[in-house]
A = this chain, B = another copy of it.
């Protein structure tokens, strides 16, 4: 009855289907089947009843599920607690990052982290801030990079950077980063917006409300790349933070102007319930350092650093 075997067992208990559980556990189906049988033999009792379609838990199996869930969470807690006092980063660190930061911040941070700590494996998932928040809240990630407009119960957030929201238009419209536009400018164009629920959409709606209007987009799209492509080809205007269109602006594929009196904040977030591993701490440090570099050398236009001074080195649980 070792930890791996219990993890296998929980996969089966969760899916009630050995084939699916095997995929989740990244082992072959017969291997998993065998481990379940060995566990049953060791404990001297059937844990599952084999049915034509999948399996069902026996009463004893259900009791083992209840006990094992707690046990495995303890194992994970102990592991991360001990790893949090590690001297050198080891193991795996999982970063969930907002799509918008991909080209500007995420890629630079991940590349440098991999270079600096090649022994640490890194899992990156990119998605909307809402999904990123869910990911970190459900312990699907160790660090999150997301908008400060998301809610942060159970999360510890660390302000990172505040930048402008830009109105993005085709290149020929000739918007200019140095010439901010008013909230009113958002009206009168076809706006391509993200669908609810979404922090960016809420922000745009607020801007419009302040201008006395209401958003009624004819086109809703939930990926940045599609939104900007459509803008580039003249389907409409869109609204994104600078970081989301940095590369397009460098390549002069669209034009953009800051929306006056509207700021957009990014935060780094970690789960409040879990001790950070050394790898996690190092990653957070590196995020802060890269943000500092990008803002101070002018790459991250419109952005101001929100960090505590000296690049967040005393962010931590100590």
Question: Measuring CB to CB, which residues of chain A are less than 8 angstroms from any residue of chain B?
Answer: 1-4, 41-46, 59-60, 63-64, 67-68, 70-71, 74-75, 78-79, 81-83, 85-91, 277-279
- Counted per complex, copies of this chain come to 2
Chain B residues with CB under 8 Å of A75's CB are: 1, 71
Contact B44 A83 (CB under 8 A): yes
What are the residues of chain B within 8 A of A81 when measuring CB–CB? Answer: 63, 67
Query: Would you list the 9 A-B pairs with minimal beta carbon distance, nearest first?
Result: A44-B90, A44-B86, A45-B86, A67-B78, A2-B2, A2-B3, A60-B85, A43-B82, A64-B82
Q: Judging by beta carbons under 8 Å apart, are B278 and A90 in contact?
A: no
Q: How far is the CB of A142 from chain B (nearest CB, A)?
A: 14
A43 (CB) vs chain B CBs: closest residue: B82
Instruction: Given A75-B71, A78-B64, verify A90-B3 contact (CB < 8 Å).
Output: no
> What is the chain B residue whose CB lies nearest that of A61?
B82
Check B71 against A85 for contact (C-beta < 8 Å): no
Chain B: which residue is nearest A45 at the CB level?
B86
| Whole-angstrom distance between the Cβ of A280 and the nearest chain B Cβ | 12
Q: Which residues from chain B contact A70 at a C-beta distance below 8 Å?
A: 74
Give A68's nearest chain B residue, CB to CB: B78
Task: Check A90–B41 contact: CB distance below 8 A.
Answer: yes
- Note all chain B residues with C-beta closer than 8 A to A78: 64, 67-68, 71
Closest to A3 in B: B2
Cβ–Cβ contact B85 & A45, under 8 A = yes
Q: Which residues of B contact A60 (CB under 8 A)?
A: 82, 85
